[in-house]
């Protein structure tokens, strides 16, 4: 069982690292591939698009096909895309390789979460979910440093070659993963093709609306309306089942997770620019700082499982958000004047992100009915990816109007204050619900 957990961690680590690696080398890629900055940005946008809606699709396919087979297909596609990117110097072909990478990589986190929740015994399950949460923060720090070192030493092609080594994980998947389905038993009803189409529209226009043109968000709203109408079809197993959103606690958790991921990835987007402008640090120096902070934060996140046994998940979550808010305030008000304060702010943000991710990973399965586990986890991963896209996109939009980085950090501090208000609202609603239940029992 420990070997299975280790394999899950490697898969998640590879997926997170790959999403960060190429952010460091976009300028070099644009020069070598002879395209402008607008075109090269599609290397990131396309990967984000496919990974986001792919996570939900894989979660649903796991009820039709064995998780092991889907992961083997995912790793194979990921490796194929990596090799295409490594051997090509034509922009279109590199972009296709990146898309194929995403088609495989979108299975990594989604299927790892399902495996940990459904097939790892309870005594080890929390350990697995804790490690997966820790790897999400560790992978981003390692990705930034490794991306900078590999690009500086061997060029951006080496990043594709590095990611192709993920194929070695197929050995662990083949021998260690259970041959089961997300819903324990295989679903035989037709796959929801129309629901998938509406979901692709939603994800595409949400990400492009935030990144490129805000008016595209209207099409995103229309797709949500169409998904709602489509959900009334009782003859098929829905790709997106609105019933999972009837649980207030679940909704609150995924909203908190959305803001948590948006704030963290926005920090990774803003911190290098801040350090370069204020202290003239190189990409590798900045990557080294982020990597060290990520490693320390990873070990801190491993202690969260022990902490929540002493104090409740709710209190742990509240303290994590409070520390993250403090980190943003330190980075916004003092980070531009002192590198020590900047690193302290980054450390608080990173550590709190890892802790909050672990706590939510432990909480989410408790608020989903067993028969809706794949759907609930799929939507949870979708929201996380949307948050990761939302953070840097909104940051770049604000920077295009206000060139003041501390102002952007202050905006995310306000979002964290909103999360704290949600925490109080959730506690109040829970108390009211408990009182209603008690009064009904008395009657």
Average pLDDT, the chain: 86
pLDDT band at 428 (very low <50, low <70, confident <90, very high): low
Please say whether the beta carbons of 422 and 338 come within 8 A: no
Q: Is the pLDDT of residue 99 over 90?
A: yes
What is the separation of C-alpha 257 from the centre of its chain, rounded to a whole number of angstroms? 9
What pLDDT does 427 receive?
Answer: 56
Residue 90: how many CB atoms within 10 A of its CB?
10
**Which of 82-96, 141-155, 330-344 is predicted least confidently?**
141-155
pLDDT band at 370 (very low <50, low <70, confident <90, very high): confident
Concatenating the DSSP letter of every residue in 365-377 gives GGGS-GGGHHHHH
**Which of 149-163, 311-325, 428-442 is predicted least confidently?**
428-442
- The position carrying tokens 């991963």 is 381
Q: Is the pLDDT of residue 437 over 70?
A: no
Q: For residues 337 and 328, what is the distance between their CA atoms, to the nearest angstrom?
A: 14
pLDDT band at 82 (very low <50, low <70, confident <90, very high): very high
Q: How confident is the model over 125-146, as pLDDT tens digits?
A: 888 888 888 888 888 888 888 9
What is the mean predicted confidence (pLDDT) over 96-110? 94
User: In this structure, is the dihedral angle defined by the CA atoms of residues 139, 144, 150 and 151, taken in order, positive or negative?
Assistant: positive
Q: How confident is the model over 220-237, as pLDDT tens digits?
A: 889 988 888 888 876 777
Q: Is the pLDDT of residue 438 over 60?
A: no
Q: Is the pLDDT of residue 377 over 90?
A: no
What is the mean predicted confidence (pLDDT) over 35-64? 88
What is the mean predicted confidence (pLDDT) over 149-159? 92
Q: Is the pLDDT of residue 440 over 90?
A: no
Cβ contacts of 236 within 8 Å, gap of 6 or more: 189, 190, 192, 195
pLDDT band at 68 (very low <50, low <70, confident <90, very high): very high
Q: Give me the percent of the chain exceeding a pLDDT of 90.
A: 37
What is the mean predicted confidence (pLDDT) over 330-336? 93
Q: Is the pLDDT of residue 120 over 90?
A: no
What is the mean predicted confidence (pLDDT) over 309-334? 88
For helices 91-119 and 42-61, give the axis angle rounded to 10 degrees.
Answer: 30
What pLDDT does 7 receive?
Answer: 92
Q: Is the pLDDT of residue 206 over 60?
A: yes
Q: How confident is the model over 389-423, as pLDDT tens digits?
A: 899 888 888 888 887 899 999 999 999 998 888 77
Q: For residues 211 and 59, what is the distance between their CA atoms, to the nearest angstrom?
A: 26
Please say whether the beta carbons of 203 and 215 come within 8 A: no
What is the mean predicted confidence (pLDDT) over 270-297? 90
pLDDT band at 207 (very low <50, low <70, confident <90, very high): confident
* Between residues 364 and 424, the one the model is more confident about: 364
pLDDT band at 439 (very low <50, low <70, confident <90, very high): very low
Q: For residues 201 and 204, what is the distance between their CA atoms, to the nearest angstrom?
A: 5
* Between residues 239 and 81, the one the model is more confident about: 81
Q: Is the pLDDT of residue 433 over 50?
A: no
pLDDT band at 429 (very low <50, low <70, confident <90, very high): low
Q: Is the pLDDT of residue 308 over 70?
A: no
pLDDT band at 261 (very low <50, low <70, confident <90, very high): very high
């Amino acid at each position: 069982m420990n070997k299975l957990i280790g394999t899950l961690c490697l898969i998640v680590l590879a997926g997170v690292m790959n999403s960060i690696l190429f952010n460091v080398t976009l300028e070099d890629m644009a020069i070598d591939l002879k395209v402008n900055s607008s075109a090269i940005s599609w290397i990131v946008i396309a990967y984000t698009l496919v990974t986001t809606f792919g996570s939900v699709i894989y979660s649903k396919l796991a009820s039709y096909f064995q998780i092991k087979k889907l992961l083997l297909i995912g790793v194979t596609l990921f490796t194929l895309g990596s090799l295409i990117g490594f051997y090509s110097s034509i922009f279109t072909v590199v972009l296709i390789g990146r898309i194929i990478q995403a088609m495989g990589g979108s299975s990594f986190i989604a299927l790892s979460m399902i495996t940990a929740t459904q097939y790892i015994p309870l005594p080890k399950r929390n350990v697995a979910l804790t490690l997966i949460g820790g790897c999400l923060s560790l992978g981003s720090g390692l990705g930034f440093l490794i991306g900078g070192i590999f690009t500086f030493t061997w060029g951006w092609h080496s990043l594709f070659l590095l990611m192709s080594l993920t194929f070695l994980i197929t050995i662990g998947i083949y021998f260690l993963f259970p041959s089961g389905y997300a819903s324990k038993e295989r679903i035989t009803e037709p796959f929801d093709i129309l629901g998938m189409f509406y979901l692709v529209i939603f994800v595409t226009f949400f990400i492009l609306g935030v990144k490129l043109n805000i008016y595209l968000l209207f099409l995103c709203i229309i797709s949500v309306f169409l998904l709602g109408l489509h959900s009334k079809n009782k003859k098929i197993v829905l790709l997106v089942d609105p019933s999972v959103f009837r649980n207030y606690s679940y909704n609150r958790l995924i909203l908190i997770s959305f803001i948590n991921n948006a704030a963290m990835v926005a920090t990774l987007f803003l911190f290098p620019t801040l350090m370069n402008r204020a202290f003239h640090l190189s990409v590798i120096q900045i990557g080294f700082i982020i990597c060290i902070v990520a490693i320390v934060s990873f070990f801190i996140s491993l202690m969260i499982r022990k902490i929540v046994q002493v104090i409740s998940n709710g209190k742990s979550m509240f303290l994590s958000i409070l520390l993250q808010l403090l980190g943003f305030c330190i980075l916004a008000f003092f980070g531009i004047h002192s590198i020590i304060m900047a690193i302290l702010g980054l450390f608080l943000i990173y550590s709190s992100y890892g802790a909050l991710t672990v706590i939510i990973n432990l909480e989410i399965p408790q608020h989903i009915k067993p028969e809706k586990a794949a759907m609930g986890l799929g939507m949870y991963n979708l929201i996380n990816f949307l948050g990761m896209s939302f953070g840097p996109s909104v940051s770049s939009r604000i920077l295009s109007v206000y060139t003041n980085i501390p102002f952007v950090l202050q905006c995310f501090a306000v979002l964290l204050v909103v999360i704290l208000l949600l925490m109080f609202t959730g506690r109040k609603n829970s108390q009211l619900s408990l009182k209603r239940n008690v009064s009904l029992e008395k009657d």
